[in-house]
Amino acid sequence: MANEIGRKASELKQRGDQLGAETMHNPWTERLARLGYLAKGVVYAVIGVLALQVAIGSGGKTTDTHGALATLAQGAWGKALLAVVAVGLVGYVLWRVVQAWMDPDGKGTNAKGLVVRAGYLISAGIYTALAVAAFQLVLGTGGGGAHGDQSAQSWTARLMEKPFGQALVAVVGLVIAGMGGWQIYKAWKEKFRKKLRLDELRPQQAEWAVRISKLGILARGLIFVLMGVFLVQAALTANPQRARGLDGALESLASQPYGAVLLALTAAGLVAYAVYMAVEARYRRFLGA
């Protein structure tokens, strides 16, 4: 009986591995993933450019990813561009699921690897919501609901109503700040290099790609740290209004001494992150290649 169960389990595993291999080597998986990185880059480029305009006093606004989608929807070709971005975001979600399920990057099944793969699933969930909002804006059926600070404060308030709610908010804040810290460390140590086929670029081009990518990841990491800190403050003061989204984090930089300079540097960093996404879309190593 035990041998039969073992044999069935082995057959199921082999079928799963075969299905995984077929999916991982499907060219459409890679194409959608590359489009996904590019779409994510477009969103961050919009956020960075709008914030840079605020910093130099030429209009603009501080916004988050949902606000960036609403900005893209404007103009004669806005909805067409947004439709492409929406499809790209679906591709990004698909790739995150593939990363979590099939582990093409070899993160493994130890504690660290499982945490990273769980993070991929969380990312897939976040970008699923963003893709849905993009399609709603394209179709004119919504997508303009609460986001940014409003969204952060709303779910923080709901979470605080639960048992041990303040502690949960603090944990979420520490996790987000930790994610930001990891991004800063990854940028500083240039760990992203091994994901890229930099050998396909000329040496000077590769060096510039690394520098810009490093700046972009550092800037995004800083924003995550700030958002995490605001959540911890909200938990410690039992005040959900202290929570901040991406737009609020940018506004907090602008309100500091030399705020225009800080905001300009961070905004330039977010544009650099968009460039990094474009580099990853073109030169990323996929599926263990």
**Average model confidence (pLDDT) for the chain?**
87
**pLDDT single digits (tens) 50-62:** 999 999 998 889 9
Give exposure, 217-233, as e/b (b: 16+ Cβ within 10 Å): bbbbbbbbbbbbbbbbb
Whether the model pTM is above 0.85: yes
Rounded distance between C-alpha atoms, residue 49 and residue 62, angstroms: 10
Contact between 231 and 182 (Cβ < 8 Å): no
**pLDDT single digits (tens) 212-257:** 999 999 999 999 999 999 999 999 999 999 999 999 999 999 999 9
Q: Could you tell me the pLDDT band of residue 105, with boundaries at 50, 70 and 90? A: confident
Q: What is the pLDDT of residue 17?
A: 45
* Mean pLDDT within 84-92: 95
Q: Could you tell me the pLDDT band of residue 3, with boundaries at 50, 70 and 90? A: low
**pLDDT single digits (tens) 113-160:** 898 899 999 999 999 999 999 999 998 887 655 567 788 889 899 999
Hey, how many other C-beta atoms are within 10 angstroms of the C-beta on 53? 16
> For residue 81, with 0-12 CB atoms within 10 Å meaning exposed, 13-18 middle and 19 or more buried, which class applies?
middle
Q: Which residues pair with 196 in a beta bridge?
A: 284
Q: CA quadruple 42, 44, 47, 50: dihedral positive or negative?
A: negative
**pLDDT single digits (tens) 258-272:** 999 999 999 999 999
